[in-house]
Amino acid sequence: MIKDFLNEDIKKIGKKAKLSFIDTKKTIDLENFKGYTFVKMNEVEWERCERYGAKYEEWKDNLIVTMSERGCMYKEKRYSVDTSIEVRDLSGAGDTWMASFAYKYTENSDVDESIKFANDNATLVVQKRGVSTI
């Protein structure tokens, strides 16, 4: 995850790492994220990137698009979430998703299992009020 005061340092570190994950946080310039193993953004951010010329075919191997209550998409495969739960607060859901995905993928290198793990953990977090942990 990139924070404004560390942008350049984090980009350099991420690109040198053998395995790297980044949450783009409202960018439209995907060139900054070439070389990352996985780039996560929500669908509004991705649509904005597309309006500025990003092509899905060029990013599909690295791009995970989160879609709120509709789950997320990776390589045109949609991963659903449990919509029967009561959503109380979205605070921390994206960070929980990213941390969970990175943790599980580092453990097993299985994208499908890692996305399901991340979706499940984010679903737990949104059922609580305020920023919470799992």
Residue 133 inside a domain? The answer is no
Residue 47 inside a domain? The answer is yes
Residue 16 inside a domain? The answer is yes
The burial of 10, by beta-carbon neighbours within 10 Å (0-12 exposed, 13-18 middle, 19 or more buried), is given as: middle
Taking only the tens place, the pLDDT of each residue in 10-33 is 667 767 778 888 887 766 677 778
pTM of the model: 0.83
Residue 57 inside a domain? The answer is yes
Taking only the tens place, the pLDDT of each residue in 40-87 is 999 999 999 899 888 999 999 999 999 988 999 999 999 999 888 888
pLDDT at 9 over 50: yes
Number of domains forming the structure of the chain: 1
pLDDT value at residue 1: 42
Residue 112 inside a domain? The answer is yes
Taken in order 43, 101, 114, 68, is the CA torsion positive or negative?
negative
Domain range enclosing 68: 4-126
Residue 134 inside a domain? The answer is no
CA angle 20–18–114, rounded 5-degree value: 50
Residue 122 inside a domain? The answer is yes
Residue 76 inside a domain? The answer is yes
CATH classification at residue 21: 3.40.1190.20
- Concatenated DSSP letters of the chain: ---GGGHHHHHHHHHHSSS-EEE--S-S-GGGGTT-SEEEEEHHHHHHHHHTT--HHHHTTTEEEE-GGG-EEETTEEE---TTSPP---TTHHHHHHHHHHHHHHHH--HHHHHHHHHHHHHHHHTSSSS---
